[in-house]
Amino acid sequence: MTKPQTDEPILYTGQFKHGVDESRRVMVPAKWRPRSGRTQFVVILWPVAVEDYLLVLPPDRWRALLENLKKQSLSNEKVAALERVLGSTSASLELDKFGRLGLPDTFAKQVGIEKEASLIGRIDKFEIWNPAKCEATGTADKQTAAEIVNQITL
């Protein structure tokens, strides 16, 4: 008897540029896909109120976010506002059998994704960017990372 196939935690590392087809589908790198082939990702317009790119959360990160929200008081209006924004600017998407994510039209338009997309690994999640915006942000990111690296215990 064989053991059921389980997915190892995936490290979302690296940077990739992929074409986007007419149906707004973008290929997720093979090393970022679970072995089981199918998974539900939650895609959020990010950052909140700025919406420069799409933040893609795998199921475990989305569950952790929901658990944090559940711990908050129902009467906390700031948390309620965050829940409304997250609820209205997120979508649950499944990889198709070829490993592509179909981006909602409104999300793709909001962040300027048309013919190409840059996918940026963020260790336990990833981002999908308009390539020109992504390139323009790279230098500032490196400067910010250089400032914070000494504050983090490595």
Residue pair 103/43 in contact (Cβ under 8 Å)? The answer is yes
Rounded CA Rg of the chain: 17
Looking at every residue in the chain, the average pLDDT score rounds to 92
Q: What is the 3-state secondary structure (H, E, C) of 59-89?
A: HHHHHHHHHHHHCCCCCCHHHHHHHHHHHHC
pTM beyond 0.85: the answer is: yes
Question: CATH number, domain at 98?
Answer: 3.40.1550.20
Residue 109 in tokens: 């338009």
pLDDT at 53: 98
| Number of domains composing the chain | 1
User: Does residue 42 sit within a domain?
Assistant: yes
Sign of CA dihedral 45, 51, 57, 61: negative
pLDDT score at 54 = 99
Does 3 score more than 70 pLDDT? no
Domain residue limits at 59: 15-151
Give me the pLDDT at residue 37, please.
Answer: 72
pLDDT tens digits, 58-96: 999 999 999 999 999 999 999 999 999 999 999 999 999
